Each structure stands twice: as C-alpha cells, then as structure tokens.
Structure 1
Amino acid sequence: MTAGALAAPTASAATRPDSSPTRPDYVQRGLDGLVRADGVPAALASVRERAGHTRTYTAGVGDLATGSKVPRDGQVRIGSNTKAFTAVVVLQLVGEGKIGLDTSIETYLPDLVRGDGIDGNRITVRHLLQHTSGLPNYVKYLSDDVRPYAPRDLLDIALQHKAVFEPGKDWEYSNTNYVLAGMLIEKVTRHPLAEELDRRVIERVGLRHTYFPAPGDVKIREPHPKGYYQEAPGSPLRDGTELDPSWAWAAGQMISTNSDLNRFYTALLSGDLLPGAQLRQMRTTVPAEYFGPGARYGLGIVSRPLSCGGRYWGHGGSTTGYETRGGVRGDLRAAANIAVTTQPSDKGVMERVDGLVDAALCR
C-alpha cells in the first residue's frame, strides 16, 4: 500500500513511561515513517532491555473511521508466531518421553497422512516442525468462502495436492505442518490444543494478554487497533478485524501483544519453557531465505542475523489485517516486537519494519 491509498493518519505520541528525554527516539521516528510515508494505519512497538526496562510506542490511528487513538500495547492477531507456541508444546512432550522427535507421524496419527507422493510413515515430527516434510501448504488452496474449518478440513485440502518434495530433502514453508503438529498434541494429551497452550506456555510465563481464540470467536477481547486489508494492490482498505480464525488453527490463530511476545521469546530462549536438550534441538537450524537474507529455521523458530553482529530469534506473523515482526537477541540483552495494522502489498514496507527491529535490538 502506498501513502496515496488513503489520507495518512496522524501519528500519536509515543508512550514511554520509563524513557529518558535525551534518548534518541529512533523507534518512534520509525513508526511515524511507516504511517506517514507508507500509509500504514497504525504501528505499535514494544522494546525490552536486559535491565527489564520496557518502552512501548504507537503511531497512527486505531480506527480509520473514527480516528481513535491506538491503544498502548494493544492486542493484535499474531499469525505465525503461533507456530513457536505450538512447537514449544510438542517439544515439551518430547522431553516427557511422550513424542519422539524423529518418529514418524504415522505412529501417532495412523492412516491419516496419505496422498500423491505423501506417506505419513516417511514424515517425522521433526520434519513437521522444521518445514522439511514436503507437505503442500493448504493456505494456497483455501476458497474465498468465509466459513469455520476443523483441523481435518485443512489437512484434507492439503492432501488433495501432490507432495512438494520428498521428506527431508528440501525446505518449504507450509502451514499444513503445524496443523498436523496441533493434531498430534491433541492426540497425545487427549486435551484440546487451547488447553495445552494455556497450561504449558501462557500461564507458565505469565502472558496476561495472550490467548487462543475458539473457532467462531471473531472478536479481539481487549483494546486493539483495527486491522485492514486490500482485495488488490491500490484498492481501498477494508476492515478485517473480526474474522473466524479457525482457518489458521495451530499454525496462526493466536492473539497477543508486543510486550507479551517479548516476554514469551525471552522466556523461551532463557530456558524457562524447555529442557536444555529440547531447546538445543529447537535452535538447530536449516537455511530459510524465505525469511530474508541469512535467515535460518529451527523447530518453530526463526534465526536472523543482526547488523551489529550475532543473531536474534523469533518468528513473525502475517494474517488478515496484521503483520508482526521481532524477537530476542541471542545474548538476551534486548527484545523487540513491532506490529502494523495492514498487510502491505509493497514488500519494502515490511523490510523497513525488519530494519527497525534490527535497530531496536542493536541499540
């Protein structure tokens, strides 16, 4: 989206409860630029430093129709950041001896994963978590019909199409992998995925503004900016805030805030959610240029190089109305997450968001 697609919203003041007035406000300037130059309706950021100081920022408007303020640290749909949560639960079950990372998915979900070039006997749990299964991505084949989906519906859509490659022979991002990971969790624990995410992750690290909405729950519970989408580049922005999230399920259904994502990724990399052996497996990566130059994919988590040296770990998410980017430095000295309330057709917009994440983590 270009700035000419709509009247550029007015940038709001940053909310920085513990910031120094002499600190260069590069994050606020970056968010303002996304609003004024790129036409993003709203941008939100949370930056957490090692000492525990957190700064939150906003720019733009929370609702294009009313011009309302962007809620400080408002809730957003976090899309594929959900995959990191799902992977944590699977790896906890690996640590408990209930799942084998290199065991075939057929062992747990027999006679389910079958198709043209697709055989669940040859696809391991690791293949699912690392996107090396070769399973086609069901999202490419979803119809425009807005309707609730069961996880099996999503899997069946994928299995109508040929395998992309033989398991373990290549890497390609596929949401189907994480639908199967969610089904695996439910089969092994005999509990709904939402309950396991709550008990094992959300409550454990005190994520007070994070939840896995139920199918059919189209609302966002707490204060939030509205999310927008375009039917085609250059077309008017449409309000996509309220939607049935079941099309994304274990691959992208969750709602959270930037500060909760910072807390989650910091706790994860600190070893608060996984035993050391499983965290090391999670951080064992393969090249994934899909996420940008030098990016690598572990088990539900992405590693990206920093301009100041070293790497940071997170995931990011793209979903109707919202884009999120960020993570935590490998040395745990800083965490940063940024959300914008649209899916820009111009790739340069999200490159600028990535650059702002890099600046926040490097400074």
Structure 2
Amino acid sequence: MEAISYERASDVAGAIRAAREPGAMFIGGGTNLLDLMKGGAARPVKLVDITHLGSGLDAIERLPDGGLRIGALVRNSDAADHALVRQHYPLLSQAFVSGASAQLRNMATVGGNLLQRTRCPYFYDTAFAECNKRMPGSGCGAIDGYQRTQAILGASSQCIAVNPSDMSVALAALDATVRVTGADGERAIPFADFHRLPGDHPERDTTLRPGELITFVDLPPPAFPEHAYYLKVRDRASYAFALVSVAAALQLQGGNVSDVRIALGGVAHKPWRASVAERMLSGGPLNDERLREAAAAELRDAKPLAGNRFKVALAERAIVRAVNVAAGRSSPGITGVVA
C-alpha cells in the first residue's frame, strides 16, 4: 500500500499552499476521487481536506446583478433543494436530482461534480493497459472495444470517453462562470472554456492550472424560470449515467423563440453546447419540423462508431423532446430509459 499524507486546510490560502506538493489533490465529498483511488486510477501522495474552508464556499447567495453564486463546497442535494435554485434556475435543480443517488448527492459537492473524471471502463479498470487518459501514449482501448457509452462528438484518436456530469450540462446551457483561486490569484473561467475536448491530451479534463482550487460557480441573472427541462436517457431509471442528456431552456414571445439554450450530455468529452441548433431555432416559430431540422443539423458532424451509432438518432430525438417539454408543448412523462 502506498503512503498518503493528509492535511486539513482551514482557509483557501492554506489549502493552496498545502497543494503545492507534487502529487497533492484536494478532497471534498470524495465521491469520485475515492472511487478512482480504490481502483488505482488515481494515486495521490497527499490529500488536502477542503471541507472546513469557510469563506462562503458552503453557501448560496444572490449576486448584486441578480445572478446567483454557489459555493464549491455546497452539497449537490442542498443546491438542488435551495429555494433560489428551484425558483429561478429549475433547469439546474432538475439536473442535480437526475445525478447519481440520494446518498451520493448528500456527500458530493458542486466543485467535485465539476471535476468528475470521464466515465470509461478502460480508464477506471487498471487491468486494461490501453488508456491514454490514465497512461498517455498507451492507446485507447475503447476505440476497438466497448463503445456503447462513448463519444460521438468532439472525440479524437486519443480518447472517446464522455463527461458524466448532469449538473455540468445544465451549467453549460445557463452560461455559468467558474471562479478559481491559485498561487497566481483569482480568475474567472467561462463555463464553455472550463472542460476540454480530448485532442492529443485526454489526460487533461479541464483547463485548471496545477494547484488551482474551485471556489464558486456564478450564474447570470435568471432568464428561463418558466420554460426549462432536463432530459436524461439512460439504460436504467436509477443510478445510471446518461447515454444522452439534454438541458433545454427557452424564452417564448407570441409563439416565437426569442432565446434558446440547449446543451447535451453523454455525447462528448465535455458538456456539448448545441450552438447550431440554438441558432436555427432562435427568432422563429417553434414547431416539430423546425425542431427536427435543428436537431439533425446539430448532429450532422457526429462521428459514431459501430457500437454507439444509435446515439445519433437518440440525441436528435432527445433534443426534440426536451425542447417540446420545456416549451410546454408536451408532458415530461417518465424518465427516458433505453433497454
């Protein structure tokens, strides 16, 4: 067994100092990191406990511009049930509740949710020698192996894994900002720039610099409290990652779409903002024909493999359904399940 040191930080500055040691990692709820450690996919030499930092990192508060600030240490279950989130950002509340199980949501933090590693069996199981994410340069076992859950958009020859976070799909649609602090001070990262596509470096899931700590997630003033829906399609109705998910939010004026946000999960290495579909839908009437055309255009550049080709049509249909439910044109029904 490898030795691991432990340090409990009492403030943000102390946490950043403690994390300067090579091989150090922050730990909050630990729901993902401990899984990775148990399987040998993560091997930190030091754990820096950030659960007692204070400084508002465990709080949710209104911003002066009317937006919302969510502390990185807020538990997923608390964020989902917070009155301001439920009332003004229902898309985010729905996404939180769709993730994992109630027990895990009671432990998992918002910051930790942002840092979930991509869920690929070749990455999590060290018995597989080929995984560029775990061992850069070793190859990608999934490309010629199990492909059902893998990416159809934005993948590379180095990695076809997908981001598993439900929360992050909603945050992508809502144009959130991630605030971080490191040795060089504070900076704000637009959500679209926080996660990475794999490219030639799939071992890097985010654009965080070494030793940086996520402190807050900021949301702009609420714009979609009435027309929002999060659809998650999965193999079973409980505790399963999305095959495809869709976060959809709209503003409607006289039957026309004045603003629309769509983001996809389960299809790429990062939450996928459906900007093509958004442009096609914005400013016009909402009907099934326009929806189908927009969804097909968004998936036109998809590059599925033999084992996940079904995801293309599934994503198209999921976009149509999620937008229709968000607009009140159809009822949610039951959670999407694929046999």
Per chain length, whose mean CA-contact separation is higher, i.e. which structure has more relative contact order (CA < 8 Å, sep 6+)? 1
Compute the TM-score of the two structures, normalised by the length of structure 2: 0.25
Higher helix share: 1
Compute the TM-score of the two structures, normalised by the length of structure 1: 0.24
